[in-house]
Structure 1
Amino acid sequence: MADVMIVTGASRGIGAAIAQRAGRAGWDVAVNFRLGEEAAEAVAAEIRNSGGRAITVQADMAKEADVERLFTAVDDQLGPVRALVNNAGIIKMTSITEFDTTDFDRLFAVNVRGAMIAAREAARRMAGRGGIVVNISSVSAQTGGGPQGSLYAASKGALDSLTLGLARELAPEGIRVCGVRPGMTETEIFDDSIGLPAARERAADRVPLGRLASPEEIAAMVIWLCGPEASYVTGVNLDVTGGI
Structure 2
Amino acid sequence: MVASAQAPLILITGGGRGVGAATARLAATQGYDVAISFVADESAALAVAADIDAVGRRALAMRADSADPEQVVRLFAAIDRTFGRIDALVNNAAILARQSRLEDLEFERMRRIFAVNAIGPILCAQQAAKRMSYRHGGRGGSVINVSSAAARLGSPGEYIDYAASKGAVETFTTGFAKEVARDGIRVNCVRPGHIYTDMHASGGEPGRVDRVKDSIPLGRGGQPEEVARAILWLASAEASFVTGAFLDVTGGK
Bin of the TM-score, shorter chain as denominator length:
over 0.9
What residue in structure 2 maps to residue 215 of structure 1? 224
For 1:70 and 1:208, how far apart are their aligned partners in 2?
40
State the Cα deviation string for residues 33-80 of structure 1 (Å, max 9, x = none).
Answer: 111111101101111111111111110111110111100000001121
Contact (CA 8 Å) 1:94, 1:151: kept in 2 or not? no
* Matched letter for residue 103 of structure 2: T
**Which of 147, 151, 159 is residue 157 of structure 2 equivalent to?**
147
What residue in structure 2 maps to residue 133 of structure 1? 143
State the Cα deviation string for residues 134-188 of structure 1 (Å, max 9, x = none).
Answer: 0000000011124222111000000000000000000010100000000000000
What residue in structure 2 maps to residue 42 of structure 1? 47
| Identity of matched residues, % | 44
* Matched letter for residue 183 of structure 2: E
What residue in structure 1 maps to residue 251 of structure 2? 242
Contact (CA 8 Å) 2:102, 2:157: kept in 1 or not? no
Tell me how many residue pairs correspond in the alignment. Answer: 243
For 1:207 and 1:100, how far apart are their aligned partners in 2?
31
2:131 pairs with 1:121: no
What residue in structure 2 maps to residue 26 of structure 1? 31
Structure 1 stretch displaced more, 148-157 or 175-184: 148-157
**Which of 65, 82, 88 is residue 83 of structure 1 equivalent to?**
88
Q: Secondary structure at 2:102's aligned position in 1? A: coil
TM-superposed deviation, 1:194: 4.6
Provide structure 1 residue ranges, at least 5 long, that are not aligned to the other structure.
none
Q: Secondary structure at 2:108's aligned position in 1? A: helix
Q: Secondary structure at 1:187's aligned position in 2? A: coil
**Which of 86, 106, 111 is residue 112 of structure 2 equivalent to?**
106
Runs of 4+ in 1 over 3 A off after TM superposition: none
Q: Secondary structure at 1:196's aligned position in 2? A: coil
Structure 1 stretch displaced more, 186-195 or 175-184: 186-195
**Which of 201, 215, 237 is residue 228 of structure 1 equivalent to?**
237
2:65 pairs with 1:60: yes
RMSD: 1.0
For 1:197 and 1:117, how far apart are their aligned partners in 2?
33
2:15 pairs with 1:10: yes
For 2:10 and 2:223, how far apart are their aligned partners in 1?
22
For 2:93 and 2:252, how far apart are their aligned partners in 1?
24
Provide structure 2 residue ranges, at least 5 long, that are not aligned to the other structure.
1-5
Residue pairs, 1:172-187, within 5 angstroms:
172-187=182-197
Q: Secondary structure at 1:62's aligned position in 2? A: coil
